[in-house]
Amino acid sequence: MAFTEPSTDALPRHPIIIDGKREEQGSGLVYPHVYPGTGKVTRELRMASAGDVDRSVAAARKAFPAWRAMPGDKRRDLMFRIAALLEAKSGEFAPSLISENGSVAMTAPYMGYDAAQKFRYFGGWCDKIHGRTIPMWGTPAHDYVSYEPYGVVGIIVPWNGPLFAATMVLAPALAAGNCIILKSPDLAPYSAMKLVEILHEAGLPDGVVNLVTGGADVGEAMVAHPGIDKIEFIGSGATAKKVLTSAAQSLKPVGLELGGKSAVIIFDDADLMLAAKKGLTGAISSNGQGCVNGTRLLVQRGVYDRYLQLIAAMAAQVKSGDPFDPSTILGPVISQGALDRISGMIDRGVTDGGRIVAGGARLDGAFAQGFFLPVTILADISNNCEIAQTEVFGPVLTVTPFDDEEEAITLANGTDYGLGAYVHTQNLRRAHHLAGTLQAGMIHVNGAGEAMQPNCPFGGFKKSGHGRLGGVEGLHEFLQPKNIWMSMAPPEGGQ
């Protein structure tokens, strides 16, 4: 099998875009980006520095008054033009998405379409942001609430889905009237670069969205910068603690979308074939590197063995291969370090009593230079062991049996995370009961991720973060309410 190497001609060349000007290099460190499919360098990028962050903030602050004052219908029409161009160019994102993190060609074009949907949805809100009046008592007065943008929002997105994450924040933040500093991740820089190029091609005013590609030092400069009014961080809990510590120095508000360890609960009355197909998506979606993926399979004992047989057989049919091949279902994980970490967790899961029923070992032969692991399923996992409690971020599923409904709820809620949960049952009473008792921000019944639409709120409980992206809740994340009270009492002179 021959693996396709990314064509550098198809990849964006501008890691810095400030005040509408594209720059082929920043003033920071040189970073060799590695393509996960072959382990080879795609391009060496000179990334942004703290000085580039300063320039981007200055541009955003300069652009903010005019952007904020733009009438809602004008901003709406611009958002719709952006959506139309993103949809028309959705296929052009594929080289960037595949090259940056090993996303597969089968799904890559959808990401551009998804980005278009977000701008189209939130564009529709631009001319509908309005306040409300509040009745007063005690004295004649008129009281009303208006909603205003924060100003400049710093957005830090992760390497596993930079385009998806960036547009999930950009669309509502722009609709609300904010200007943006977007940090593209060093491990996966290209799709965000392409996105900002398209925004300007659609007519976005200079300075409204500025791009700085970089590592942790750039993120730190953004969080600490006095000219950035709010931070939206999507990433790991460990990094989030550092973000919050830094933001606390200026009491800067921070929105967090963090990790997950989402349970998939399969009851004995479930459609087992559907539940196996949906359960398998936790190992396949984003090559298993998705925060909301259902990776803990909790299966009622009456169907436990049958379910294991079904999902193991399906896992054996998942084709790993060249991410540029349209028939490939599962691509590589992001790096050699990630592969080593995941393999170590699998080994410790076996030591803790787990039993491998699919996969388990790194792919060799034609795959040897890339970072490939097949779909791996560990059965008989105790809910207390590391691999059941810690986010793996790879194509790995664990399977744990349970006896009754209450035990399933206890197991599902028995982690520090609370991003998603998935329930498979034909019992409507049970479905509603679990939906009300599971500690997660997004519940799917007989599904797997279908509610990731832009009109649905997305976010987590517990250590999966706080705040919501998507829906009207996501719009209000980027608006501040202001209360105005006006006395209506007559002048004391009696006029």
Residues catalogued as catalytic = 257, 291
Backbone φ and ψ of 20, nearest 5°: 80, -5
Helix axes 162-175, 72-88, angle to 10 degrees: 160
R_g of the chain computed on alpha carbons: 24
Calpha distance 140→422 (Å, rounded): 52
Q: Which of 147, 214, 222, 216 is nearest to 181 (CA)?
A: 222
Calpha distance 100→182 (Å, rounded): 17
List the end-to-end C-alpha distance of the chain, in Å, as a whole number. 91
Q: Which of 6, 235, 2 is nearest to 105 (CA)?
A: 6
Amino acid letter, 401 = P
Q: Which of 102, 90, 92, 101 is nearest to 3 (CA)?
A: 102
Task: Tell me how long the chain is.
Answer: 495
Contact 201, 31 (CB under 8 A): no
Q: Which of 477, 14, 464 is nearest to 255 (CA)?
A: 477
Tokens of 401: 């049996």
Calpha distance 54→158 (Å, rounded): 22
Residue 184's beta-bridge partner residues? 213
Calpha distance 258→466 (Å, rounded): 9
Contact 207, 60 (CB under 8 A): yes
Contact 307, 272 (CB under 8 A): yes
- CB neighbours of 207 closer than 8 A, spacing ≥ 6? 18, 19, 20, 59, 60, 62, 63, 179
Tokens of 318: 């998942």
Residue with tokens 């000219």: 227
Contact 262, 292 (CB under 8 A): yes
The CA–CA distances, whole Å, from 239 to 87, 222, 365 equal: 33, 14, 36
Tokens of 47: 């990334």
Calpha distance 132→136 (Å, rounded): 13
Q: Which of 281, 255, 230, 247 is nearest to 420 (CA)?
A: 281
Calpha distance 45→192 (Å, rounded): 14
